[in-house]
Amino acid sequence: MTKMTGFIPAAFVSFALLTAADVQAQSMFSVLDESSRAEQVITHETGQFRVYGTAERLHFNVRANAGEQSTFGSGQWYVTLVAPPGERLRPGLYPDVGCPVTTFGRSAGLQVTDDNPKCEATDTIWGWISIRQIEFDEAGNVTRLEAAYSQRVGAANAPAWSGLVRYNAAPMSFNVRAAGTSPWGRVRQQNHGDTSLFTLTGDASQVYYEASVLKDLWSVVIAPPTGQALKVGRYETRGEPNTQQAALNVVRGLDSPLYCPDSRGSVDVQDIAYDETGKAVALRAQFEYRCTPRGAPLRGEIRFQR
C-alpha cells in the first residue's frame, strides 16, 4: 500500500566587492513539533555542523553550543537522507519517504532524531523530503545542502516534526503574490530550488533576475537612478530610471502581453554583492510593482545567495 503523506507545501551588505565563493553561505537546523508546538533552531552561530556520507546516503549532524536552550531536552540532532534505490540525491521532492534502514519499493529514506532512533527493524516513518540545493565535490563529498522535511512516526496521521536543514548554503528563493484584482490575477507563489531555476546577471548599472518556476516564468529588472550605482537602500521606482527614481520592470512569461508604461512601485535592496569584475553575484530584495498608479500591486521577494 502506498503511503499517503497528506498536504505537501510548496515550498522574504552593504555595497560590496567579493568573489562568488564569498557569498553568505550558512548552516542551520530547525525542527517544529506539530503536537506540542515546541521548536528549536540552531544556526551557524549557535551550533556545530557536520555532513558526511555519499550521494546515495547522507548524514547530517548538528550539536548546539554549550549553554544553548532546547525545548526538546537535547542539543544534538541527527538527520539521515537516503535516495531511492539506484538513484542519487538531487534537487526535487521526495513525497513518500520511509525508514532509511528498511525502505521498501522506490521510497527515499528519512530519519530525524535527537539521538533516539525512530525506526530500526520495521518501517514506521511517513513524510517527505524537499531538497532545494545539493552539490558535491570531485571526491563525492557534500559541499552544499538545503532540504526541507516532514516526518511522522508510527502512522500517516501522527503529529509531524517539520523543519529545514542547511549546510554551507545561502538562501535561493522567489516569492510573489498579488490580489485577484491585479492585472496578473490572483498570485501566491513560494518557489525554491526543489522546483525552480534562478539566475542573476548584470552589474551596478542594472541587474536582471530570472526565476523559472513550475508552470511559470518571472523576470525582474532593477536599475538605479540615473548616474548612480545599485546598492543597499530603498528606491521609489518607475518604468524607466531618472535622477530621482530607480527603474523596476516585472515580466511574467516568455512574452508578457502586459505592458505597464505608467508603472509605479518601490524596491528595497536589502543586500547586494558584486565580484571583482563588477558582475552581480548575490541579491536580496523586496519589491512592490503597480501596473497603474492606483492598481493592485504585485509584491515579491528575491533571495539569490543572500
Q: Which CA distances in Å does 8 have to 81, 144, 230? A: 18, 24, 38
Same domain, 181 and 59: no
In a domain, residue 21? The reply is: no
- Can you give the pLDDT at residue 70? 72
> Edge-to-edge strands of the sheet including 76-82?
47-53, 57-64, 76-82, 109-113
Is beta strand 246-252 parallel, antiparallel or unpaired with respect to 233-238?
parallel
- 299 DSSP β-pair partners: 177, 288
Determine the Cα–Cα distance for residues 175 and 191; give it in Å rounded to an integer. 6
Give me the number of domains the chain comprises.
2
- Can you give the pLDDT at residue 26? 86
Same domain, 74 and 116: yes
Same domain, 106 and 182: no
Same domain, 94 and 217: no
In a domain, residue 182? The reply is: yes
Domain encompassing residue 129: 26-169
E-assigned strands of the chain? 26-33, 39-43, 47-53, 57-64, 76-82, 92-94, 109-113, 125-136, 142-153, 160-169, 172-178, 187-192, 197-203, 206-213, 216-223, 233-238, 246-252, 264-274, 280-290, 298-304
Same domain, 101 and 192: no
Same domain, 73 and 141: yes
Q: DSSP string covering 116-140, please?
A: S-S-SSS--EEEEEEEEEEEE-TTS
Amino acid at 142: V
Same domain, 156 and 31: yes
Same domain, 201 and 286: yes
Cell of 81: 537522507
pLDDT means over runs of 10, the chain (306 residues)? 36 33 71 93 93 94 84 85 94 94 86 85 91 92 95 95 95 95 91 96 97 95 97 95 95 72 92 96 97 88 95
Determine the Cα–Cα distance for residues 281 and 130; give it in Å rounded to an integer. 25
In a domain, residue 81? The reply is: yes
Amino acid at 175: N
Looking from the CA of 114 toward its CB, the CA atoms found within 13 Å total: 15
- Can you give the pLDDT at residue 25? 67
Residue ending a domain, choose from 169, 193, 214: 169
Of 293, 251, 243, 248, the C-alpha closest to 266 is: 248
Is residue 72 within 8 Å of 42, Cβ to Cβ? no
The pTM of the full predicted model, rounded to 2 decimals, is: 0.83
Same domain, 102 and 206: no
Same domain, 154 and 219: no
Same domain, 176 and 152: no
- Can you give the pLDDT at residue 258? 60
Same domain, 162 and 242: no
Of 113, 107, 145, 146, the C-alpha closest to 127 is: 107
